[in-house]
Amino acid sequence: MIITLEQANFLALVVMVVALVPSTYRVLYGPTLPDRIAASDAVGNVLAMIFALYAFQGSSIYLMDVAMLLSIISFVGTVIVAKYLDTGEVL
């Protein structure tokens, strides 16, 4: 059985949406603040992958820009909050 590119893209989107569910649960009901921060980073990465898959499927360069921007903001936000939790200050 040969799988087409459209089927592979759809399967990847389904996997990303399924991966989004436990991370979202952890953000909402996480026991500690670091758990919620790590889960929010995972949610940001999964959403960026969803945007990237949609950009690939629809041949849209603008959605790829949104995916890159979301990844950068998610990474910087996680680093800032982790530094705040470690030292008590951002700068």
> For residue 55, which of 40, 44, 68 has the smallest C-alpha distance?
68
User: What domain range includes position 65?
Assistant: 5-87
Residue type, 72: I
Total domain count, the chain: 1
Q: Token match 């592979």: residue?
A: 8
Tens of pLDDT, residue by residue over 53-79, are: 888 888 888 888 888 999 999 999 888
What pLDDT does 85 receive?
85
What pLDDT does 58 receive?
83
Q: How far apart are CA 3 and CA 33, in angstroms?
A: 42
What pLDDT does 56 receive?
86
In this prediction, residue 11 has a pLDDT band, given cuts at 50, 70 and 90, of very high
Does 91 have pLDDT greater than 80?
no
Q: How far apart are CA 1 and CA 80, in angstroms?
A: 47
Tens of pLDDT, residue by residue over 16-45, are: 999 999 999 999 998 988 888 889 999 999
Q: How far apart are CA 48 and CA 32, in angstroms?
A: 25
